[in-house]
Amino acid sequence: MAKKAARRTSGRKKAKKSTTRQSGFFHRIGRIVSRVVLGCLAAVLALILVYSVVNPPVTHTIWQEWRRLGKVEREWVPIEEIAPIMARSVVAAEDANFCLHWGFDVNAIRAALEDGSGRGASTISQQVVKNVFLWQGRSWIRKALETTITPMVELVWSKRRIIEVYLNVAETGEGVFGVEAAARQSFGVAAADLSPVQAARIAAILPSPRKRSVRDPSVRTRRRAAAILDGAATIRADGRDDCFED
């Protein structure tokens, strides 16, 4: 009996030691994962701080298109050298409540869910995060990262800076990035000299810049541009451009 009791006690001690070792292993793994996540967040925050004053030199999409096509058209210009109507046009086209939200348009998200058509509800802030810090494509990982980073960008950058970056990194044609390159390629003018109609045409192709044309717009694109033109005027009239206008 004593021997059986001793064996049972020994077995319990071995099981306890095994459990302790497993617990220690998972604890170490947890600490490593936590450190990696915190390190990544710290790196992203550092980039957000840097890009609040320094222009992003390249994005994943620009680099990807350069590899695919062999060249890209892009010229960074400060927002002061972009016609104000261009900023109002992209807001009217992509995010009419840009000045009213903190990175996520809850009403647009709710409407998209209720509609059930799969239409997007991404704000300009979210698109900037995707373009500058992440990659294109649909995945839960990218969306989770985008959701995490967007409030950080909204907290550090001004709305005017967000618009400025968007106007310079958005894809505006196949191998074309930013409104300056689009203006020069499509209309032979600088972004500062864009007319309301020209600005609306550029904004109209943003959802699908590789399939839609600024220089030879389809009837659908022309109609969308006309609606954007009206929307830009409304945004100016009701003050929804106050956060990015001088």
Q: What is the pLDDT of residues 140-173, one digit of tens each?
A: 888 999 999 999 999 999 999 999 999 999 999 9
Average pLDDT, the chain: 87
Which whole-number Å values give the CA distances from 176 to 4, 48, 67, 128, in the listed order? Answer: 80, 24, 13, 16
pTM (2 d.p.)? 0.84
113 vs 184, higher pLDDT:
184
Write down how long the chain is. 246
User: Based on C-alpha coordinates, what's the Rg of the chain?
Assistant: 25
- Phi, psi angles (nearest 5°) of residue 113: -65, -40
How confident is the model at residue 224, as a pLDDT?
Answer: 96
Share of the chain above pLDDT 70, in %: 84
At 21, the pLDDT band (50, 70, 90 cuts) reads low
Alpha helices of the chain — where are they, by DSSP H?
2-51, 60-69, 84-94, 106-115, 124-133, 140-156, 159-169, 179-187, 196-204, 219-237
At 108, the pLDDT band (50, 70, 90 cuts) reads confident
**Unique residue bearing structure tokens 């709305």:** 159
**Mean pLDDT lowest for which of 7-16, 23-32, 164-173?**
7-16
Contact 200, 228 (CB under 8 A): yes
44: pLDDT strictly greater than 60: yes
How confident is the model at residue 64, as a pLDDT?
Answer: 92
75: pLDDT strictly greater than 70: yes
What average pLDDT does the segment 45-54 reach?
Answer: 94
What average pLDDT does the segment 135-144 reach?
Answer: 86
At 138, the pLDDT band (50, 70, 90 cuts) reads confident
